[in-house]
Amino acid sequence: MTDTLTPVLTEPWGVDRSWTREVYESRGGYRALDTAFAMSQDDVIAAVKDSGLRGRGGAGFPTGMKWSFIPQDASTEAGRNPKYLVVNADESEPGTCKDIPLMMANPHVLVEGVIIASYAIRAHKAFIYIRGEVVHVIRRVQNAVREAYEAGHLGTDIHGSGYDLDVVVHAGAGAYICGEETALLEGLEGRRGQPRLRPPFPAVAGLYASPTVINNVESIASVPSIVGNGAEWFSSMGTEKSKGMGIFSLSGHVKRPGQYEAPLGITLRQLVELAGGMRDGHELKFWTPGGSSTPLLTAEHVDLPLDFEGMAGAGTMLGTRALQLFDETTCVVRAVLRWTEFYKHESCGKCTPCREGTWWLVQNLARLEKGQGSEEDLDLLLDQCDNILGRSFCALGDGATSPISSSIKHFREEYLAHLTHGGCPFDPARSTAWASSQQEVTA
């Protein structure tokens, strides 16, 4: 039985100057690199496959399998083309806040993971695409890359292995859609971040039309520990199909919001208890399991295992384990409207359903939130969602429908209450971070 919390990636975060190479190396950093170099590239891929690591950026695709898709057959054009590793550090999904502290506190584990992953897929150039709005994170990663070069972890003939790798830290410029991997590639190629047609898939024709692996920060950062400790070590954590540890990000009306690294399969009930419960005198009303694009759940779902299968079974997704918790003071219609405005703002504009659909959804929701319209408008909303879900070019449009359809499913009465009340029946002041303390003072 593994412990309830299993800090691996988060473990060094509290250490003084944890972001420096000196501290990272003093704690065993960059040793997994030698372990990897002693293995064949295919064995590294096999180890990551065997570990059961699934992408930590939301989709949960097996990381080792992704690496194995990179064509290595020199008799084909794709096999001859250069290979690239791109780290998706564009963390922007509402509620998601794990990669940013990881890179800030421990950028070297990411760099080490980049080197091992690049070695495995036989890439000699890797890119870390970090959203631009987090300059201190970018400083830390830039610094770590510089330090890694200075120590011979990057550059030519790394650790005497004969393997060469260059890493470029690339700052984005403000676009949620660039978290979508092909849109990210567009951004990295200096274009508008609009998703590409697939096929061809990035594994065959990604960056510069060459074979490319795109992995989330946490996925790559997990690699050194997998290579260092072995696949079995990793797979001893988690559930049958959702292996390993992952960072669970609790936010909202919980007493101790923050990062909780635990084996996949932990429940929200466990996490909330660790976090000291909901705010005093309040109870959980609804929550997102993995960011705003994952259909929201309610208090009745707190005992479901937070793993890929458990969440899929509840009609939602594990996503990025971005657990946004809202108590009963929160108006679900207001929350959903705000998310929908977000999707409208972030829709890249490429396809009709997402571009026009989010435009219209916001208008309908705004009317309802103001208590205008009728019950039929709820059906219209659901039909609009039906016309967007699965019709859009990429998953952004799908994500935009998740909060709406799931909230109508769970809180239809609350929508109707807006109509009967002639507006929002909630007092937003009661939801604020300072509301409870004020109430306690006045009480």
Partner 1 sequence: MSTTSALEQTTLDELAEIAARYPEKRSGLLPMLHLVQSAQGKVTPEGIQACADILDISPAEVSGVATFYTMYKRREPGDFHVGVCTNTLCAVMGGDEILARLQEHLGVGNDETAEKREGDAHTVSLEHIECNAACDYAPVAMVNWEFVDNLTPDTAVQLVEDLRTGKEVRSTRGPRLCSWREVERVLAGFPDGRADEGPSAGPSSLVGREIARERGWSAPPGAASGTTGTEDLSASEAAAEADTSRAESETVEADVESTVEEPSDD
Partner 2 sequence: MTVSTSSTTGGEPRADLVTVTIDGVEVSVEPGTLVIRAAEQAGVQVPRFCDHPLLAPVGACRQCLVDVPDAGNGRGFPKPQASCTLPVAPGMVVNTQASSPVADKAQQGVMELLLVNHPLDCPVCDKGGECPLQNQAMSNGRGESRFAATNGTKRTFPKPINLSPQVLLDRERCIVCQRCTRFAAEIAGDPFIALVERGAQQQIGIAEDAPFYSYFSGNTIQICPVGALTSESYRFRSRPFDLVSTPSIAEHDSCGAAIRVDHRRGTVMRRLAGDDQDVNEEWITDKDRFAFTWAKQDDRIGYPMVREDGVLRPASWPEAFAVAARGLAAAKDAGGVGLLPGGRLTAEDAYAWSKLARTGLGTNDVDFRSRPLSAEEESFLAAHVVGSGVEGWKDGAVTYADLESARTVVLAGLEPEDEAGTIFLRLRKAHLAGPLRVLAIAPFETRGLTKVGGTLLPTAPGDEPAALSSLLGHADHGVDKDTIILVGERLGLVPGALSAAAELAAKSGARLVWVPRRAGDRGAVETGALPGLLPGGRPVADAAARVDAAAHWGVTSLPEAPGKDADAIVASAAAGGLSGLLVGGVDPDDTADPAAFRAALAAADFVVSLEVRATDVTAAADVVLPVAPPVEKAGSYVTWDGRVRPFEAVLHTPAALPDCRVLAGISEELEALGRGRRLGFRTVDEVRAELGQLGPWDGEAPAFTPVAPVTGGGEGLALATWKTLLDDGSLQDGDKHLAATARPAVVRLSPATAAQVGVADGASAVVTGDRGSLTLPVEVEASMVDGTAWVPTNSYGTAVLARLASPGSRVSVKGADQ
Q: Are 221 and 106 in contact (CB under 8 A)?
A: yes
Angle between helices 41-51 and 217-229 (to 10 degrees): 100
Which of the listed partners (partner 2, partner 1, none) does 67 bind, with a CB threshold of 5 to 8 Å by partner kind? none
> What amino acid occupies position 101?
P
- Does 349 contact partner 2 by CB under 8 A? yes
Asked if 45 and 86 touch (Cβ cutoff 8 Å), the reply is no
Pair of tokens at residue 23: 């501290």
Please report whether residue 338 would count as binding partner 2 according to CB under 8 A: no
- Considering beta carbons, is residue 27 or 338 the nearer one to partner 2? 338
Residue 209 binds partner 2 (CB under 8 A): no
Nearest-angstrom CA–CA distance, 68 and 59: 17
- CA distances for 168 relative to 114, 145, 171, 194, 274, angstroms: 11, 8, 10, 22, 39
Buried b (16+ CB within 10 A) or exposed e, 231-241: beebbebbbee
Decide which of partner 1, partner 2, none touches 88; Cβ closer than 5 to 8 Å per partner kind.
none
User: Any contact of residue 175 with partner 1 (CB under 8 A)?
Assistant: yes
Contacting partner 2 (CB under 8 A), which of 203, 227, 336, 348? 348
CA angle at 213 for the pair 242 and 397, rounded to the nearest 5°:
70
Residue 350-369 contact track with partner 2, rule CB under 8 A, x = bound:
xxxx-xxxxxx--xx--x--
Which entry of partner 1, partner 2, none binds 101, CB below 5 to 8 A by partner kind?
partner 1
Which 208-237 positions form the footprint of partner 1 (CB under 8 A)? Answer: 208, 224-225, 228-230, 233, 236-237
Amino acid code (one letter) for 372? Q
Residue in the structure block whose two tokens are 């997998």: 226
Answer yes or no: are the C-beta atoms of 289 and 303 closer than 8 Å: no
Is 252 in contact with 282 (CB distance < 8 Å)? no
* Residues binding partner 1: number (CB under 8 A): 128
Residue in 373, 399, 400, 407 binding partner 2, rule: CB under 8 A: 373
Selection from partner 1, partner 2, none that 356 binds (CB < 5 to 8 A by kind) is: partner 2
Task: Pick the closest to residue 206 from 293, 146, 110, 125 (CA basis).
Answer: 125
Sheet holding 212-216, edge to edge: 166-171, 123-130, 83-89, 212-216
Q: Find which of partner 1, partner 2, none residue 208 binds, CB within 5 to 8 Å per kind.
A: partner 1
Interface with partner 1, residue 248, by CB under 8 A: yes
Closer CB to partner 2, residue 275 or residue 348? 348
Q: Which partner, partner 2, partner 1, none, binds residue 174 by CB below 5 to 8 Å per kind? A: partner 1
Q: Which of 309, 377, 430, 435 binds partner 2 (CB under 8 A)?
A: 377
Q: Which of positions 271-330 make contact with partner 1 (CB under 8 A)? A: 273-277, 292, 303, 305, 322, 324, 326, 330
Is 171 near partner 1 (CB under 8 A)? yes
> What contacts 347, CB < 8 A, 6 or more positions away?
177, 354, 355, 358, 396, 397, 400
Q: What minimum distance in Å lies between the beta carbon of 186 and partner 2?
A: 12
Q: Which residues contact 230 (CB under 8 A, 6 or more apart)?
A: 47
295 contacts partner 2 (rule: CB under 8 A): no
190 binds partner 2 (CB under 8 A): no
Tokens of 403: 């909060």
Cα angle, residue 290 at apex, residues 261 and 196 outer, rounded to 5°: 120
Residues 398-427 that bind partner 1 (CB under 8 A): none
Q: Under the criterion CB under 8 A, does residue 111 sit at the interface with partner 2?
A: no
- Whole-number minimum distance, CB 225 to partner 1, in Å? 5
Closest distance of CB 397 from partner 1, Å: 17
* Footprint on this chain of partner 2 (rule: CB under 8 A): 175, 192, 194, 197, 344-353, 355-360, 363-364, 367, 373, 377, 380, 386-388, 390-393
